Amino acid sequence: MRRLLLSNDDGVHAPGLRALYEALTPHANLRVVAPDRDRSGASNSLTLSRPLALTALDNGFYSVDGTPADCVYLGVNGVWDERPDLVISGINHGSNLGDDVLYSGTVAAAMEGRNLGMTAIAMSLCGAHHFATAAQFAASLIGAADQLSLPPRTLLNVNVPDLPWEKIKGVKVTRLGYRGPAEKPVPVQDPRGRTRYWIAPVAANADDGEDTDFAAIEAGYVSITPLQTDLTRHPARRDVQDWLDAFA
């Protein structure tokens, strides 16, 4: 059986991680390494200022007092002799659509797996109820994972509508949409009268065209978006060079 590493950013006790584990147990040998607390929004950060604790839990999972990327790094290169064949991150409690992928610890965990040479999938449920739907879809993907051929440094970002399985209309391969500018932070007063700030909720969609992940989810389809770790805007290189040449 293939070896899978499971991780997430919602924490080792999150219901989405448990649902994913239970759905995939019949299909693979599983290792679970996840943060000891909610680390949503941690993105690709690694903990470099202190050593990390890898703790075995009673249920066989392992927790790490660090970020999602830390967890995958240790899960692949840590205390075990065998490397996994595939990294799956999730199931996230909430969507990771459009610009969300820049902040998402769920996507970052999958990206760390890809950076370490693994095939990697990020799984998110666009809500908080039908984890069984996302878990069932993840199991169907694993069944065909051996036939998946991706370019180097590519991973899959999968978002599943928060619907019962029978109401899922199908699957669409999408591109990332993007949201508008972020809202202003929300000020609050702490008990000592000091002002603190909550990061505001996400802004409205600025690009949710019919081929985007936003549109697929809205229409009741699972969205699968291939992501690349090369962030270079290659067509703009010529523009930047012309700009430099103009005042050189």
The whole-number pLDDT of residue 112 equals: 95
| Closest of 12, 50, 15 to residue 32, by C-alpha | 12
pLDDT digits (tens, 9 = 90+) for 6-30: 999 999 999 999 999 999 999 999 9
Q: Are strands 62-64 and 29-35 parallel, antiparallel or unpaired?
A: parallel
Domain boundaries, the chain: 1-177+205-244
Count Cβ atoms within 10 A of the Cβ of residue 52 and give its class: 0-12 exposed, 13-18 middle, 19 or more buried: middle
pLDDT digits (tens, 9 = 90+) for 41-70: 999 999 999 999 999 999 999 999 999 999
Beta strand spans in the chain (E): 3-7, 29-35, 54-56, 62-64, 86-93, 119-126, 154-161, 170-173, 178-179, 186-189, 195-198, 205-207, 221-228
pLDDT digits (tens, 9 = 90+) for 210-235: 999 999 999 999 999 999 988 899 99
At residue 204 the predicted structure's pLDDT band, cuts being 50, 70 and 90, is confident
pLDDT digits (tens, 9 = 90+) for 136-171: 999 999 877 777 778 888 999 999 999 999 999 999
Q: Is 10 annotated as ligand-binding? A: yes
Beta strand spans in 40-163 (E): 54-56, 62-64, 86-93, 119-126, 154-161
Q: Is 9 annotated as ligand-binding? A: yes
What is the architecture of the domain spanning 1-177+205-244?
A: 3-Layer(aba) Sandwich (3.40)
| Cβ–Cβ < 8 Å for 3, 31 | yes
